[in-house]
Amino acid sequence: MIYSLTGKIIKKTLNAVVICCCGVGYYAQCPASVAGALPGVGKEATIYTVMSVTENDVSLYGFASEEQQACFELLTSVSGVGAKVGLAILSVMEPDRVALAISAGDHKAFKAASGVGPKLAQRIVLELKDKVAKGFAGGIDLENVAGAAADTAAAQGAGQAIAALVSLGYSQSEAALAVSKIDGTLPVEEIIKLALRSMAGRR
């Protein structure tokens, strides 16, 4: 198994990268967010990889962090979630948002990804909920993410802020994640303002 690659980028597209290591060019498919964030052609970079070997194909998938790598493996363990859908999900959601959506039962968050319909979104949440409950899945501390959201929601004013953000069109998990990073003792208006600012930077 190839765990990671470090080398010079010799080609880059919207969803793939070719990295030259010791004279060998490795082609890795990536989430769109990863390919866009990597340095340009001729620059050195490190990607964390997952190799898929089937009877007719050998494919390599690249990620910017070990958390993304672990999240991809977690997602593709779900029945009906192949590599293409796993990459699509990570193109629109960071691992912490994936973890929070699962722990909150927010299957609608996954429908933002290409190829994910209502039934598959529900299956992702259903099949991964037990792994979330166990607290740790491949380097992503899902229990801490869920616990932080729950503690924040219980804090004074945070619940109101989350409700307000949801009414503005944000998902429950997206709003909870943004609010969880803000001091819950602040006035509700200030929490909402800071949450909106942080989410505007992610969209």
CATH of the domain at 79: 1.10.150.20
Share of the chain residues as helix, strand and coil, in percent rounded to the nearest 5: 50, 20, 30
- Tell me the residue range of the domain where 8 lies: 4-64
Write down the mean pLDDT value for the chain: 82
The number of distinct structural domains making up the chain is: 2
Q: Is a pLDDT exceeding 50 seen at residue 153?
A: no
Could you tell me if 56 and 155 lie in one domain?
Answer: no
Could you tell me if 94 and 157 lie in one domain?
Answer: yes
Q: Is a pLDDT exceeding 90 seen at residue 123?
A: yes
Q: Is a pLDDT exceeding 90 seen at residue 202?
A: no
The packing angle between helices 118-133 and 95-104, to 10°, is 90
Could you tell me if 116 and 155 lie in one domain?
Answer: yes
H or E segment to which residue 124 belongs: helix 118-133
How far is the CA of 21 from the CAs of 10, 18, 80, 81, in angstroms? 10, 10, 33, 30
Residue that is last in its domain, among 46, 64, 82: 64
How far is the CA of 131 from the CAs of 81, 87, 107, 115, in angstroms? 16, 20, 16, 23
Q: Between the ranges 48-52, 100-104, 131-135, where is the mean pLDDT highest?
A: 48-52
Could you tell me if 47 and 133 lie in one domain?
Answer: no
Mean pLDDT of 102-108: 84
Q: Is a pLDDT exceeding 90 seen at residue 61?
A: yes
pLDDT tens for 164-187 read 777 777 777 777 788 878 877 788
CA 196 from centre of chain:
20
Could you tell me if 41 and 83 lie in one domain?
Answer: no
pLDDT tens for 14-23 read 899 999 999 9
Query: Using 50, 70 and 90 to split pLDDT, how confident is the model at 143?
Result: very low
Nearest of 35, 51, 31, 40 to residue 9 by alpha carbon: 40
Could you tell me if 83 and 18 lie in one domain?
Answer: no
Could you tell me if 80 and 17 lie in one domain?
Answer: no
Question: Which pLDDT score is estimated for 136?
Answer: 40
Mean pLDDT of 46-67: 90
Residue that is last in its domain, among 34, 64, 94: 64
Query: Using 50, 70 and 90 to split pLDDT, how confident is the model at 124?
Result: very high
CATH classification at residue 34: 2.40.50.140
Could you tell me if 127 and 192 lie in one domain?
Answer: yes
Q: Name which residue leads in pLDDT, 100 or 12.
A: 12
